[in-house]
Structure 1
């Protein structure tokens, strides 16, 4: 886009322009490894074996809020939803490890 002299952030204030940079860094630092872990997860239930590990907990901790929280932009959710095995992973953790909290869509 920049090569074509098209600036998606043209109408944003200087302060607002900081948000895309912050989100880009968040994606690069936190989500890129998880999205790469989508290949290592494959069709398995857990990343490192037959039972959940601390890696599963960490990935869930980053991904679940992105799927469940109302965000000002749907970009992150769209990016995550492009990886059905990660979406399934989050659902699986919720169903198996937090069944009581997530039963019937209730948070209690």
Structure 2
């Protein structure tokens, strides 16, 4: 499915739940205003309602569903560092790919998103999401000496490709980032990479770079086949 903050977070959260063995049922809610504010996914239990991926993961850990129990202190610190790297270096280009690049937005993201929103919100929210993505990119990256949008775009794609290269080098020939057992970092990386890897775009600059990093593609395929039994490109 096309990328939104909620979709990426849901993939991350769903992957972590599967890695840790947490029983999880995903319900699609028809409340697009919540999604537009970034309030999804939400974890609902008999006694609790928890939102935001980090808080959801912490809640699951407290319930003994911990995908990181075998990690060392250094690996735990590395996890936090790589998650910060994803948010700083990869996220701006992912947002641009889905929401700002006009060919991708008008042929893939907007039609998919609008088809799942009731009228008249389908006329309003996709444009609002696109503007929000552009504003986020410019607020975080549009600083001197990058004054013009084209300069910002060139820089965020350079940063994203460098980030993908770092992830590929870190993964190496291992099945997961810390060996044979998936952890929080694997869930986060999967949440970022799987939509980028599987969605069919007309403009594929970042996707083409990802598909040249065969170990990251294998990483996505393995998690999809082992834990999700589906291809995001088929939906």
Aligned mates of 1:24, 1:95 — CA distance in 2: 34
Aligned mates of 1:53, 1:19 — CA distance in 2: 37
Report deviation, 1:61.
1.0
TM-score (norm 1): 0.65
Aligned residue in 2 for 1:85: 215
What is the aligned-residue RMSD (CA, Å)? 2.5
Task: Give 4+ residue runs of structure 1 displaced > 6 Å after superposition.
Answer: none
Aligned residue in 1 for 2:188: 58
Report deviation, 1:44.
1.0
1:74 partnered with 2:190: no
Cα 1:53–1:23, aligned 2, differ >3 Å: closer, same or farther?
farther
Aligned mates of 1:23, 1:70 — CA distance in 2: 22
CA deviations 1:26-80 (Å, max 9, x no partner) are 662x553343121121111100122111111111111111111133411111100
Aligned mates of 1:106, 1:80 — CA distance in 2: 19
**Structure of higher RCO (CA pairs closer than 8 Å, 6+ residues apart):** 2
**Residue among 131, 144, 149 paired with 1:18:** 149
**Residue among 173, 186, 192 paired with 1:43:** 173
Q: Secondary structure at the match of 1:52?
A: coil
Unaligned runs of 5+ in 1: 1-16
Cα 1:71–1:33, aligned 2, differ >3 Å: closer, same or farther?
same
Aligned length: 87
Cα 1:89–1:23, aligned 2, differ >3 Å: closer, same or farther?
farther
